[in-house]
């Protein structure tokens, strides 16, 4: 692959990308885990919050498709990244207003513009890492580091101030992130071989392995939605404090770093399918422990499994999709994977877990997540057996 001209100064580009991922991690880790708490503080019950979050997941799917096409067709990467930080920052400032209607509307605006942040920045980062002889994991892990510090900072912040004021420090981090984006080189020289989304989708869905893989990702990743949306709420229900919830979020984010750094080595030893299965088993263990021991100290300690579960499974799922689809369908494959991970899993996870939390409490939600992860692991096991000895076993 010929290095694109926009990467001639690739050490500087990679440095800026890592700084960008660090800042977006700080901003996201600061605000996202507490959005449900902000809704509840405004008087909404947990079931209603789940419905709002589920609807937002539909919005994520539509927004990702829209912004992805805009990025590909008009090469608007930098502008889209700027909008994906600046508009949500303005929307987050409205969270502190004493109106449920304004809160919901501003949250939907927040979602519509943060949706392209991950897929667009990841596409940019993967290209940069590949051309520079580096790896995506060495860039992506900086977002986990940012999430760790952001989660801890948020815990300390809300111990002194109401969660609805988190939009203020969120704005600060996003402004720094925007300054970094403005220093990115243009990506106009990058050429990607693609098919249209509709033809690519039809081609992918003909493959049984792809369908099993996506279903497994849906069942497993909907449990991650339970963590992202409801952890702070459940932690408080168990008697935990805001400050300790921040520590738990920091532990979870930091645990992703070694998993992402070592993922290439683990894949080389075990193969892609078995590595994904290892991540799924970590999900089962993670939720099973919380079901059996629903106390704050255990809920904090078990977050060390975040890296082995989410960190390992996510990076390996991206790698698996790259290997399993033809070259001309790789962009479509990653788009579909992103929709399943952040869209469909969000819809299922928010509706199901919000209902279970309201109807049966944390134990019902934790048991459901354990079972869902186990079914997903069974599907990955089936893929592992049917594809034994294929090119995905080792590179």
This prediction's pTM: 0.77
Instruction: Give the whole-angstrom CA distance, residue 120 versus residue 107.
Output: 21
pLDDT in tens, 89-107: 999 999 999 999 999 999 9
| Residue 392: per-residue pLDDT | 46
Q: Which domains, and CATH codes, for the chain? A: 7-192 (1.20.1250.20), 193-395 (1.20.1250.20)
pLDDT in tens, 332-366: 666 778 788 878 888 888 889 888 988 899 999 99
Structure-token match 């002194």, residue found: 160
Q: How many helices (H) and strands (E) does the chain have?
A: 17, 0
| Residue 25: per-residue pLDDT | 93
> At residue 197, what are phi and psi to the nearest 5 degrees?
-60, -45
The count of other CB atoms within 10 Å of the CB of residue 157 is 20
Position with higher pLDDT, 229 vs 92: 92
Cβ partners under 8 Å of residue 196, min gap 6: none
CB-based contact 259:312 (threshold 8 Å) = yes
pLDDT in tens, 146-165: 988 998 899 889 889 999 99
CB-based contact 94:68 (threshold 8 Å) = no
pLDDT band for position 207 (50/70/90)? confident
Instruction: Give the whole-angstrom CA distance, residue 200 versus residue 204.
Output: 6
Least confident window among 29-43, 168-182, 183-197: 183-197
| Residue 6: per-residue pLDDT | 46
pLDDT band for position 72 (50/70/90)? low
Radius of gyration of the chain (CA): 20
The Cα-based distances of 87 to 18, 63, 84 in angstroms read: 22, 14, 6
Residue from 166, 178, 322 nearest 249 by CA: 166
| Residue 228: per-residue pLDDT | 82
Q: Please state the rounded mean pLDDT for residues 44-59.
A: 84
The count of other CB atoms within 10 Å of the CB of residue 88 is 27
């Amino acid at each position: 692959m010929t290095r694109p001209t926009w990467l001639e100064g690739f050490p500087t580009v990679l440095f800026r990308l890592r700084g960008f991922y660090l800042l977006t991690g700080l901003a996201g880790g600061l605000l996202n885990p507490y959005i449900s708490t902000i809704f509840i503080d405004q008087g909404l019950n947990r079931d209603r919050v789940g419905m709002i979050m589920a609807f937002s997941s539909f919005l994520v799917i539509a927004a990702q498709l829209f912004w992805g096409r805009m990025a590909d067709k008009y090469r608007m990467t930098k502008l889209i990244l700027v909008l994906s930080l600046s508009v949500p920052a303005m929307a987050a400032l409205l969270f502190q207003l004493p109106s449920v209607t304004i809160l919901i509307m501003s949250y939907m605006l927040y979602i519509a513009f943060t949706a392209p942040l991950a897929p667009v920045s990841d596409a940019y980062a993967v290209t940069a890492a590949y051309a520079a002889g580096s790896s995506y994991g060495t860039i992506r892990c900086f977002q986990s580091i940012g999430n760790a510090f952001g989660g801890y900072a948020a815990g300390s912040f809300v111990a002194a101030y109401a969660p609805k004021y988190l939009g203020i420090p969120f704005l600060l981090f996003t402004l720094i992130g925007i300054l970094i984006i403005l220093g990115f080189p243009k990506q106009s020289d990058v050429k990607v071989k693609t098919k249209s989304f509709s033809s690519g989708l039809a081609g992918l869905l003909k493959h049984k392995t792809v369908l099993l893989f996506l279903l497994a990702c849906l069942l497993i990743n909907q449990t991650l939605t339970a963590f992202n949306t409801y952890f702070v709420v459940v932690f408080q229900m168990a008697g935990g404090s805001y400050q300790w919830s921040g520590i738990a979020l920091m532990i979870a984010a930091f645990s992703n770093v070694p998993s992402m750094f070592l993922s290439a080595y683990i894949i080389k030893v075990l193969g892609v399918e078995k590595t994904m299965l290892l991540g799924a088993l970590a999900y089962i263990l993670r939720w099973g422990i919380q079901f059996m021991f629903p106390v704050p100290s255990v809920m904090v300690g078990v977050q060390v499994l975040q890296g082995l579960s989410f960190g390992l499974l996510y990076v390996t799922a991206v790698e698996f999709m790259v290997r399993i689809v033809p070259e001309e369908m790789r962009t479509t494959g990653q788009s579909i994977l992103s929709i399943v991970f952040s869209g469909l899993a969000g819809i299922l996870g928010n509706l199901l877990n919000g209902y279970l939390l309201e109807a049966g409490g944390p134990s019902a939600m934790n048991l459901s997540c354990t079972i869902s992860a186990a079914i997903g692991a069974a599907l990955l096991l089936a893929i592992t057996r049917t594809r034994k000895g294929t090119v995905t076993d080792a590179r």
